[in-house]
Amino acid sequence: MAATQPSAPLRVYRTAVFDNRRWQRFMHRPGDIFVCTPPKCGTSSTQAIIASLLWPDGPAPGPVMTLSPWLEAEFNPADELFARLEAQAHRRFIKSHTPADGIPIFDDARYVFVARDGRDAFMSLCNHYERYRNDVRESLNERAAAEGVPLMPGWDGDVHGFFARWLEQAALFLHLATFWKLRGQPNLAFVHFADLKRDLAGEMRRIADFLGIDVPQPRWPAVVARCTFDAMRARADEIGTFWNFEGGAQSFLFKGTNGRWRDVLSDSEVAAYDRRAAELLPADALCWLAGGRTALQA
């Protein structure tokens, strides 16, 4: 179980929704795959892609989000989650929303880091908070308040006020920065949501090569077709239950588009975004975050 993680303890990340201290219980297996993302950056799409690659002949043997659980999520009972992972005989693929300094980095695992333009992630997060079930939020917040950790905010419809707070916290930029420091590691691949939208088939082949998954050539059209946004929405029961969202899958798998922020954010807000990003990220990371591999290669 070799690891490149430094001897210092992992940084603790806790909110009402997740607790990365759960990694202390995680039993690693060689070949494990970790889908690592800031929230609302294409996590579920990437999980669906990996499931389609691992089971090219048809549907996976269960909902993708059950097979590939969010390890840190407080709404997933820890004992049940770890028992489920231990029982899996297939190659495991696990979701994480924790920055790189809060998770172990194993030499014999593969890490797929996924992000998107922060303004697009912000717009998706607005929908996330608006559609999240109040009873679930209140239950998570009740426990969090008792433990003194940050609460999950409610939604009051104030997009601009929320944007100011989101930008001040800068969680997405800080998250990316921790992985960007590791970008030379051979077991880490960067995937951008915009590249998935531009060339889904090409990006899926790149992910398959990185993970060492050999998909028979005749299977490729179907393997890719299952992973378009429309196909995921049409087969939502194969992706997950989405029990914690009003409207279920149709709320969680909302639009899958980029650029909606252009009709919402003001010029001054966009300028503030650019300044904040430049404070926290190097130029090459800024370029990648804005447009993915295509932007870096331009």
CATH of the domain at 98: 3.40.50.300
Statement: residue 3 has pLDDT above 90: no
Please give the pLDDT value at position 8. Answer: 59
115-156 per-position pLDDT tens digit: 999 999 999 899 888 888 998 889 999 989 999 999 998 889
DSSP the chain: --B---SSPPPP-B-SSBBGGGGGG----TT-EEEE--TTSSHHHHHHHHHHHHSTTSS-SS-HHHHS-BTTBTTS-HHHHHHHHHH--SPPEEEE-S-GGGS--BTTSEEEEEE--HHHHHHHHHHHHHHB-HHHHHHHHHHHHHHT-PPPP---S-HHHHHHHHHHH-HHHHHHHHHHTTTT-TTEEEEEHHHHHH-HHHHHHHHHHHHT----GGGHHHHHHTTSHHHHHHTHHHH---TTBTTTHHHHS----S-GGGGTS-HHHHHHHHHHHHHHS-HHHHHHHHHHHHHHH-
Statement: residue 21 has pLDDT above 70: yes
Statement: residue 255 has pLDDT above 60: no
Number of domains in the chain: 1
Residue 10 counted as domain residue: no
Q: What is the 3-state secondary structure (H, E, C) of 46-89?
A: HHHHHHHHHCCCCCCCCCHHHHCCECCECCCCHHHHHHHHHHCC
Please give the pLDDT value at position 247. Answer: 58
Structural domain including 193 reads 20-297
Cβ-count burial of 198 within 10 angstroms (0-12 exposed, 13-18 middle, 19+ buried)? middle
Please give the pLDDT value at position 259. Answer: 81
How far apart, in whole angstroms, are the C-alpha atoms of residue 207 and residue 46?
Answer: 9
105-118 per-position pLDDT tens digit: 999 999 999 999 99
How far apart, in whole angstroms, are the C-alpha atoms of residue 177 and residue 179?
Answer: 5
Angle between helices 267-280 and 118-131 (to 10 degrees): 110
Residue 12 counted as domain residue: no
Tokens 């104030």, located at residue: 158
Residue 95 counted as domain residue: yes
Statement: residue 6 has pLDDT above 50: no
Please give the pLDDT value at position 295. Answer: 84
- pLDDT band of 10, cuts 50, 70, 90: very high
Tokens found for residue 216: 């028979």
User: What value does the mean pLDDT take over residues 232-256?
Assistant: 67
Cβ-count burial of 268 within 10 angstroms (0-12 exposed, 13-18 middle, 19+ buried)? exposed
